[in-house]
């Protein structure tokens, strides 16, 4: 048997290089370009100045802070999605008859295209749309509202649609993790006469801790930077700019108002906030690891 040839240290990186180049060009170049654009302060007739003027512009804009605030309001949906997803996963885990069909139906909204969901629900939630017509026919007139045209209701209507769509992911994630939990833990608990709640609190929840943490952080990032399609299609940021999320702020400045430099500055700020969330996730993960152990 001949001597074993150790691969050189750089060989794995050579194989990663094509993908790395692709990612660097698509994401890295775009990122650098946006940062540079955010520092370009246009003067008249093509004169370009450089500095933090665009950042002053957005930080001094009440609409920018209101947009961030609307994203933060959407965070309130996350506990709802998590709890509903958890309960439904636990119920499905009981393997009642037809549970596979229920699981598929629960996950179906998640695989639908967001713009399609937005367009369909726009029609359903119009003042004279399907929902209000059904409520009217059931003599539930007090429930008839302008779901998308009322500034006090529009954002929560969108939040409901987001929750409807994203809860399916929670159910599937939690169910998958439940399937890998050691059954002996539950058997031991039942031998000790632990009731359903105690089994759920002391076994199910700790075992699901990491996947719950993953889902919560992913949802936080989604609520911050992945709700544009819902808002753009369903309300356009109105009424009265009461559904003006940060992505829409960036879009409107870039594509409608022709202020791409301001939009770039807002994009950089959004990126930094998302990065901060990821940092929080890394810290939270350490705590979760302790719980699981």
Partner 1 sequence: MSKVTSESVREDLTGLSRRGFLRLSGVAGASAAAASLLASCSSSGSSGSSGGKVNLLVWYWGEQEAPGMQNFMKKAVARYNSQQSKVTVTAVLQSSDSLYSAFATAAQAGKGPDIQYLWGGTQALGDVWLGYCAPLSDYIDASWLRENIPQAALAQTNWGGKQWGMPFYQIGTAFPYNKKMFADAKLNPDEPPVTWDDYTTALSKLKKIGVSPIGAGFKDQYLGGWLASYFGQQNFDTIEDAIAPFRGSVKYEGPKYTEWINQVQGLVKSGFFNDDVQSINLYQGQNLFTARKAAIVTSVQPQITSFYRTMGGNDTVGVMRSPAFGTGKFANSFGAPAQVLLLTKFSPHKEEAANFLKFLHTPAMMHLMYQESGAICPDNKFDTSWFDTETDKTMWHWQQTLPNFWYQYYYPLPFETNGVDPGLQQLWQPNGSVTAAVASMQGAINKWGEQTPEQLSAYKTWKPLPG
Residues at the interface with partner 1 (CB under 8 A): 2, 14-15, 17-19, 21-22, 25, 42-47, 57-58, 60-61, 63, 122, 125-129, 146-151, 235-241, 252, 254-260, 262
* Strand pairing class (48-50; 40-42): antiparallel
Which residues are bridge partners to 41 per DSSP?
A: 49
Smaller CB separation from partner 1, 57 or 206: 57
Q: Which is nearer to partner 1, 206 or 238 (CB)?
A: 238
Min. distance of Cβ 242 from partner 1 in angstroms?
A: 8
Nearer to partner 1 among residue 215 and residue 244 (C-beta): 244
Shortest distance in whole angstroms from residue 252 CB to partner 1: 6
In angstroms, give the least distance from the CB of 201 to partner 1. 44
For partner 1, give the closer residue by CB, 207 or 261: 261
Least CB distance from residue 109 to partner 1, whole Å?
A: 22
Give 198-207's long-range contacts (Cβ < 8 A, gap of 24+). Answer: 200/90, 204/90, 204/178, 206/291, 206/292, 207/177, 207/178, 207/181, 207/292
CB of 12 to partner 1, least distance (A): 10
Nearer to partner 1, 175 or 262 (CB): 262
């Amino acid at each position: 048997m001949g001597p074993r040839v150790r691969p050189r240290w750089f060989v794995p990186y050579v194989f990663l290089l094509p993908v790395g180049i692709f990612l660097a060009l698509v994401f890295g170049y775009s990122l650098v370009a946006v940062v540079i654009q955010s520092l370009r302060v246009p003067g008249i007739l093509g004169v370009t100045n450089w500095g933090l003027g665009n950042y002053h512009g957005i930080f001094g804009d009440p609409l920018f802070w209101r947009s961030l605030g609307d994203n933060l309001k959407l965070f309130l949906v996350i506990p709802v999605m998590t709890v509903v997803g958890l309960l439904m996963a636990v119920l499905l885990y009981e393997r009642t008859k037809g549970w596979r069909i229920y699981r598929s139906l629960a996950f179906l909204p998640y695989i639908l295209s967001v713009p399609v969901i937005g367009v369909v629900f726009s029609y359903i939630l119009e003042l004279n749309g399907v929902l209000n017509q059904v409520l009217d026919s059931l003599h539930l007139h007090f429930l008839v509202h302008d779901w998308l045209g009322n500034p006090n209701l529009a954002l929560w209507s969108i939040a409901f649609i987001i929750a409807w769509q994203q809860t399916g992911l929670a159910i599937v994630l939690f169910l998958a993790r439940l399937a890998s939990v050691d059954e002996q833990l539950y058997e031991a608990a039942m031998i000790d006469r632990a009731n359903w709640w105690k089994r759920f609190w002391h076994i199910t929840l700790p075992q699901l801790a990491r996947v719950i943490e993953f889902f919560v952080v992913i949802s936080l990032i989604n609520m911050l930077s992945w709700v544009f399609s819902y808002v753009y299609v369903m309300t356009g940021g109105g009424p009265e700019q009461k559904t003006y999320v940060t992505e829409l702020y960036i879009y409107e400045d870039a594509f409608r108002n022709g202020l791409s430099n301001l939009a770039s500055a807002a994009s950089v700020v959004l990126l930094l906030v998302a990065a901060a969330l990821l940092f929080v996730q890394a810290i939270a993960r350490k705590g979760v690891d302790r719980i699981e152990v």
